[in-house]
Amino acid sequence: MFHRRFYEARAKGRAARAFFPPRIARGAMWFGLALTVLLVPAWAQSPDQQTATQAAAQTTDQKLEQLQQKVDELDQAVKVAQRKQELAEEAAAEKAKTEATVTADTSGFTIRSPGGNYLLKIGADLQLDNRTYFGTGAGSDIDSLVARRVRPTFSGTIYKYIDFMFRPDFGQGTTAIYDAYAQLNYLAWANLRVGKFKPPVGLERLQSDDDTTFNERGLPSDLGPQRDIGYQLSADLFKRRANYAVGVFNGVPDASIGTDTAVSDHRDYAARIFLTPFLPDEGVLQGLGFGFGASGGNTDGEALPAFKTFGQQPFFTFASGVTAAGHRTRLDPQAYYYLGSFGLLAEYALNEEGFQKSGVRREIAFRAYQAEVSYILTGEKKSFASPTPRKPFDPLHGGWGAWELAARVGDWEAEKGIYSYGLASSSTSPRHLHEWVGGVNCYLNRLFKVAADYGKTDFGGGAVNSNKLPERIILLRFQINFI
């Protein structure tokens, strides 16, 4: 019997221990003992002692009440702080819906309305060139530091569908408007651009000057329009596999930005189609692009074209009494290919342009080509736009920017008739140029680039005096560009 009770009690104890961990069980035991110790004297208290105990209990109650009040106050304070935070966040969210955001980062300075329907970007294109010519140093080819481009840029969007761009140039001691246009992007297949901008002809001309592989463009760009005022419809089609552009322009001489006014009733018509048939994930041909640009118009009343070498020296002078007159056609087949860090760009330009001397009109053909090849040593991907360095220049932390080697060969030629028709003198103007350029580009980061090019241009086709000594130049450029 005793054993049975013992085992039952032991079993109950185990159950209790299972319910109450040993620490709690021990705590309960000590609490019971303390209660006993406290209560037993209370039963034995005198009336005075009982009064004192009641007073002590009252004090404890008051203290508890005060404590409760403080807890309540603290609770309220915490809740108020939380609610204020909540309201501040709501206010910030509400503000974000109606207030413009201002950002300053590697893509420039931007003010954007909520929803992005209105946007203003402020950018700049600054190029400082150090030109060092080797050779006689005679004439204008003197060594110099040149502020090649000083172009503040204002671009953006208004009314959601209208983009705009305004870019003057204050470089080389001149003030000129290079871009000033608005583009309506309402229809994905036909964006309408109006204003002053690059007509759709030459490939390298359409490449932004901060993205070109060399400090100066190749010889085919000498034979295309630089900027002109007009209308253009353009769009990317078929998932960007094709791009078209057609436009009507005032008409400008080769390599010119025009005078911002028309000089005759005639207009230039320009068109370009460029195909990039392979999408970014479609194998080794994904970087292939090829196309054709052309323009036609009339040169009546225009200034004569001014052709320049890589060193930006004028090399061709028309004879006295020659004016631009008659028809002008520009044809420009073009292509590029990019694969990994490797890049290839080639362009050919063929122009027929009308000139007049002593009442006789002649059409002269000009031809130019270039082929350039480049390779980025630091592994970045080469494309039509500048590479973004994997590690921006910060040598102390292992960043050296992106380094690129490049070479280019080019040729320019005017037909022999330019002499025989008396439009130029073989003794002063060569009709043939051959250039090659080698370059090193260092993209320190997305915004800053240092580029060094060595260029050699040989002159030929004319009489001995016009075939002057080759132009040899080292052209060092420091460039900041954000747009």
Partner 1 sequence: MAMKPTTHWMRFAVALLAGPVMFAAGPVKLLNVSYDPTRELYQDINAAFARQWKAKTGVDVEISQSHGGSGKQARSVIDGLQADVVTLALAYDIDSIAEHAHLLPANWQTRLPNNSAPYTSTIVFLVRHGNPKHIGDWDDLVRPGVSVIAPNPKSSGGARWAYLAAWGYGLKKNNGDDKKAQQFVTRLYRNVPVLDSGARGSTTTFAQRGIGDVLLDWENEAFLALDELGKDKVEVVTPSVSILAEPPVAVVDRVAAKHGTTQVAKAYIEFLYSGEGQEIGARHFYRPRSPEVAAKYASRFAHVQLFTIDEVFGGWQKAQKRHFDDGGVFDQIYLEGK
User: Whole-number minimum distance, CB 73 to partner 1, in Å?
Assistant: 9
Buried b / exposed e over 356-372, threshold 16 CB at 10 Å, is: bbeeeebbbebbbbbbb
User: Whole-number minimum distance, CB 150 to partner 1, in Å?
Assistant: 40
User: Whole-number minimum distance, CB 117 to partner 1, in Å?
Assistant: 13
- Give the helix/strand (H/E) hosting 94: helix 47-98
User: Whole-number minimum distance, CB 421 to partner 1, in Å?
Assistant: 53
Nearer to partner 1 (CB atom), residue 51 or residue 117: 117
User: Whole-number minimum distance, CB 66 to partner 1, in Å?
Assistant: 13
Contact 301, 251 (CB under 8 A): no
Q: How far apart are CA 144 and CA 160, in angstroms?
A: 45
- Give the helix/strand (H/E) hosting 86: helix 47-98
Beta strands at 190-197 and 228-237: parallel, antiparallel or unpaired: antiparallel
Q: How far apart are CA 60 and CA 121, in angstroms?
A: 69
Tokens of 6: 């013992």
Contact 439, 214 (CB under 8 A): yes
User: Whole-number minimum distance, CB 187 to partner 1, in Å?
Assistant: 18
Nearer to partner 1 (CB atom), residue 29 or residue 78: 78
Tokens of 146: 């040149």
User: Whole-number minimum distance, CB 401 to partner 1, in Å?
Assistant: 47
Nearest to 231 by CA among 182, 281, 179, 159: 182
User: Whole-number minimum distance, CB 86 to partner 1, in Å?
Assistant: 8
Instruction: Report CA-CA distances (Å) from 50 to 42, 58, 133, 273.
Output: 8, 12, 113, 107
Tokens of 296: 């036609």
Nearer to partner 1 (CB atom), residue 57 or residue 64: 64
Nearer to partner 1 (CB atom), residue 78 or residue 463: 78
Contact 368, 223 (CB under 8 A): yes
Q: How far apart are CA 344 and CA 287, in angstroms?
A: 10
* Sequence-ordered list of residues with C-beta below 8 angstroms from that of 229, at least 6 positions apart, any chain: 195, 196, 249, 250, 258, 260, 262
User: Whole-number minimum distance, CB 87 to partner 1, in Å?
Assistant: 6
Instruction: Report CA-CA distances (Å) from 4 to 9, 79, 102, 350, 413.
Output: 9, 59, 85, 117, 122
Nearer to partner 1 (CB atom), residue 89 or residue 394: 89
Nearer to partner 1 (CB atom), residue 8 or residue 94: 94
Contact 126, 477 (CB under 8 A): no
Nearer to partner 1 (CB atom), residue 5 or residue 97: 97
User: Whole-number minimum distance, CB 327 to partner 1, in Å?
Assistant: 38
Tell me the angle at which helices 22-43 and 2-19 cross, rounded to the nearest 10 degrees.
100
Nearer to partner 1 (CB atom), residue 83 or residue 416: 83
User: Whole-number minimum distance, CB 290 to partner 1, in Å?
Assistant: 36
Which residues bind to partner 1, rule: CB under 8 A?
76, 79-80, 82-84, 87, 90-91
Nearer to partner 1 (CB atom), residue 56 or residue 80: 80
User: Whole-number minimum distance, CB 99 to partner 1, in Å?
Assistant: 12
CB atoms within 10 A of CB 23: 8
Compute the 3-state secondary structure of the chain and give helix, strand, coil in percent, each to the nearest 5: 25, 45, 30
Instruction: Categorise residue 180: left if φ over 0, alpha if ψ from -120 to 50, beta otherwise.
Output: beta
The CA-CA-CA angle for residues 461, 467, 473, to 5°, reads 120
Nearer to partner 1 (CB atom), residue 33 or residue 88: 88
Nearer to partner 1 (CB atom), residue 12 or residue 95: 95
User: Whole-number minimum distance, CB 161 to partner 1, in Å?
Assistant: 18
Nearer to partner 1 (CB atom), residue 55 or residue 80: 80
R_g of the chain computed on alpha carbons: 40
Nearer to partner 1 (CB atom), residue 91 or residue 463: 91
Contact 328, 299 (CB under 8 A): yes
